[in-house]
Each structure stands twice: as C-alpha cells, then as structure tokens.
Amino acid sequence: MITAPSREADVIIVGAGISGMIAARALLAAGLTPLVLEADDRVGGRILTEEALPGLPVELGAQWIGDTHHRMFALAEELGVQTFPQYDDGETSYQLAGSGVLRQNDFHSRFGAELAELEKVLRLLDELAAEVPPEAPWLAPHAAEWDSITAGAWYDGQGLSPVARTLLEICTVGILAVPTVEVSFLHLLFTIQTCGVTSELFAESEGGAQTTRFVGGTGEIPRRLAALIADHLVLEAPVLLIEHGAEQVTVTCRGGLVARGRRVIVTLSPTLAGRIMYDPPLPGVRDQLTQRLPNASAMKAFFVYDEPFWRADGLNGQLISDIGPARMSNDTCMPGDGRGVLLLFLEGDQARTYGRLPTDRRRGALTAELVRHFGPKAAHPECYVDGEWAERQWTRGCYNANCGPLVWTTFGPALAAPVGAIHWAGTDTATHWSAYMEGAVESGERAAAAVIGELGG
C-alpha cells in the first residue's frame, strides 16, 4: 500500500519568500510549529540573485532598500548581512522627446520649465495621496472619483508639456511596471502613500527607495532566513488544494505531499493565491478580487564590463529615455570589485515587447541604447544576463500587483481579511511599502501575529 507523505504543523505557510519565512520565524519564536511549502526549488520568491560571473552577483529581482525601510535594515543586521550605498556620483544621461542624448546638466538647463511642471504635479500627487488611508484606500474622501479614472487619464488631464508628461510616465512605470492607463488613479495614490511621498519613490530623486544594497547580494537575506527555519521548509511542493475548517487545514501539493495544521498563511501574490483550489470555496468577493490583481510586467538586464568606464566620464550610469527597450538604467557594480555593471530596466510595454524576443535581439537593442548614452565601450560587455518574470511559473510577473479602475473600492476589503482559518500575507497585502521587501516583512509579521493571537503563543 502506497502512503502519501504527510507532515503535521500548527501553521502551514504557502510560499518561501520573505513574508512566508518571516511569518515562520515569528511563529517559531512564539512556540508554534510552522511548515513552509515552496513551489520552486529555491527560496526568495521575487528576490533572485544570480552570479553573472564568478564572485559577481546580479539581482534579477528585488535589489534595493531605502532609508525608511526600517524592518529590512533591522532584518539585515540581525542576519549579519552588510549593506552599502547605491553609487550615485555623476550625471544622468537623458534622451527624451526627440532631444537627442543630453547629459543631466544640459538637460536641466534646456528643460527647466518642464522639470518645474513635473515638480508641481508631484507635489499635487503628494497632497492627494496624503488623503488615502493605506490600510483602507476605499475610505479616501474622493475614492469613488479617483478609482473611476486611470492614472494615465489623470496625467493626461494635467495639461503637461510632452517632456513633463513623458518623464512622469517613465517615473511611474518605473514603480508600477505597467503603463499608467492600466491602473486606477486611486491605486497610484495608494502606491505613493504606502511609501510616503513621491520623492521617496520616483527614480530621479536622491534617497528614496533605492539608496542601499546588500553585500553578497539581496539573496543573502532569504538564504539566511531559510537557514533559520530549515527544519520547517519543503521545496518543490506546489500547492494545489487547501481544505479548511474552523480548526483544521489540509494542504495538498503536487507530488502528493499532504500537510495538516490548524491555520494556513498564503503569501503568494493575489493572482497566484487565486489559483489554488479551496474547499469550501472562498467568498465571491475574494475570488473576484484575485481575478483583478494582475502581476506587472518587468525584467532586468545586466551588462558586465571590465571596468565602470562611465564613471570616468562623469556619468552615474543612469539613463532616462523615451526610446529604446529600456527607459532607465543604473550602475550596479559591487563594492571591492573592479568590474563595471550596468542594469537596464524593461518595464510595462518594454518588458512585453522585448521580453518576448529572442535573447540575441533583445540584447542587441539594449546594447545600441547603452552605446548611445555611454559610448562605444558599452558595445563590448564581458557578460550579459537577463530575466523575465512573466515566464517564471511560480512568480508570473513583477514587481507587484496593480489595481485597475474600481478594484480598490469594490473588492479592496477582501485583500488581507482572513477567511476562516486562512490568512493572507505577501507584500501586495502590506500597508507600508507595499510591493517592496519592506512590505513583505510587514505582511509576514502581521499574519503571524494574527495567527498567534488565535492559537495562543
């Protein structure tokens, strides 16, 4: 007789990203036994550090933290992962609205009025975002109005010059990873409010969400977290079915593993959480929510050179462009390593268009763009690495889930509310830095605390 493998725990956790492992650690600290089931053959979720060359990690997923990411700074310190500042010396290179390639100082001189327009809109966004309660965006005073238009339509209504409008689109797509006409204006304001103010978020600003990196790569965080919960972690266990009652949950994985516990915490992005079969079925409002929170479209591409030659030219490795496959780039060299690394972001339309091309053609288009901004040396990298998230079966899109019109106001309350013995976590359910690693930590702590409250610690 064949017996299916089975495991018992107090709390079954679906997903070994940061939120799942943070929840597991909190449960352990409270004297409860967690069991984390991860579909992939690795931990980390949307964090994925790969070696481009020996000793040279690059981040295909989450990479930075910012000054207000207090939970992540504390976690890194606790785990013994050192941090270092993002390189930010020199000028950014621009190519916008037919301007040709311009260095930052020239761009600012020529488009001072347009930049002032942009600044004014960002201040207005900050004012409006301040009215959005991050734990309940549907309660904002103008929620119905703001949720009925797209962010793109609101932008279009501001009477901006083409340069200012384009810059605003690029900055926003750099956060949401979808075109602004796909998301509701309320969702944009929520995204700003969950992070503080636009200056925390948008790429042009110093400070903000991308000040700090991790020595050894961001992957050190999930790797070390996994070591702490190693006895409570099963890889390659994709969850197919969750049967749940008031005091018992049974979680069935592909391959036959059956895990039983008293509560379950599902940490997947909402769209993936919606793909699990639940018995009894979830309420309609929760189900239809998960039909309406698509993961965004993003990929990152890395070029490694024998040196960061752009620095000698007074450039910081950043570009902002409205033509070509990448709208933005960054210098992502590692400290104490002489090699030069440029990261190009493909987000929204660019990820969709170029992400579907053969790698050679994508690389060729990206190389041409780099040469325009950083000169002929950019044509000869030692190495090229990229990664497209929609293709990854257990992620299916980055960076985050975005709400189209009327999703927050008609389905929002179902995003994080437990359903019986089922709790929801994952950065998309966070209220502070939702869509960031910081939000993942918050959500894992929140779900664990709720479960500990129910079961006793």
Beta-sheet pairing, 328-331 with 422-424 = unpaired
Distance CA 296, CA 389 (A): 9
Q: Which is nearer to a copy of itself, 352 or 372 (CB)?
A: 352
Distance CA 399, CA 348 (A): 10
Q: Which is nearer to a copy of itself, 86 or 267 (CB)?
A: 267
Smallest distance, a copy of itself to C-beta of residue 294, A: 4
Q: Which is nearer to a copy of itself, 112 or 281 (CB)?
A: 281
Q: Is 419 exposed, middle or buried (0-12, 13-18, 19+ CB in 10 A)?
A: middle
Distance CA 12, CA 264 (A): 5
Output the CA angle 181-182-183, nearest 5 degrees. 95
Q: Which is nearer to a copy of itself, 318 or 400 (CB)?
A: 400
Smallest distance, a copy of itself to C-beta of residue 412, A: 12
Complete edge-to-edge strand list for the sheet that includes strand 277-279: 6-8, 258-261, 249-253, 239-244, 277-279
Which helix (H) or strand (E) covers residue 26, if one does?
helix 18-29
Q: Which is nearer to a copy of itself, 56 or 299 (CB)?
A: 299
Smallest distance, a copy of itself to C-beta of residue 41, A: 14
Q: Which is nearer to a copy of itself, 142 or 396 (CB)?
A: 396
Smallest distance, a copy of itself to C-beta of residue 390, A: 3
Smallest distance, a copy of itself to C-beta of residue 405, A: 5
What are the residues binding a copy of itself (CB under 8 A)?
A: 1-2, 148-150, 152-153, 178-179, 181-182, 238, 240-241, 254, 271, 274-275, 277, 281, 283-285, 287-288, 291-295, 297, 349, 352, 355-356, 388-391, 393, 396-397, 404-406, 410
Q: Which is nearer to a copy of itself, 1 or 230 (CB)?
A: 1
Smallest distance, a copy of itself to C-beta of residue 184, A: 9
Smallest distance, a copy of itself to C-beta of residue 349, A: 7
Q: Which is nearer to a copy of itself, 139 or 215 (CB)?
A: 139
Q: What residues contact residue 155 under an 8 Å CB cut-off, 6+ apart?
A: 121, 165, 168, 169, 172, 180
Positive or negative torsion for Cα 364, 367, 372, 375: negative
Nearest Cα residue to 436 out of 68, 40, 4: 68
Q: Encode burial over 400-417: b for 16+ CB neighbours within 10 A, e otherwise.
A: bbbbbbebbbbbbebbbe
Residue 308: helix, strand or coil by DSSP?
coil
Smallest distance, a copy of itself to C-beta of residue 291, A: 4
Q: What residues contact residue 150 under an 8 Å CB cut-off, 6+ apart?
A: 180, 181, 182, 183, 184, 185, 404, 405
Structural contact between residues 42 and 235, judged by C-beta atoms closer than 8 angstroms: yes
Q: Which is nearer to a copy of itself, 308 or 355 (CB)?
A: 355
CA dihedral of 210, 214, 219, 225, whole degrees rounded to 10: -110
Helix ranges restricted to H, 88-129? 104-110, 112-129
Structural contact between residues 329 and 345, judged by C-beta atoms closer than 8 angstroms: yes
Smallest distance, a copy of itself to C-beta of residue 253, A: 11
Q: Which is nearer to a copy of itself, 102 or 177 (CB)?
A: 177
Smallest distance, a copy of itself to C-beta of residue 87, A: 31
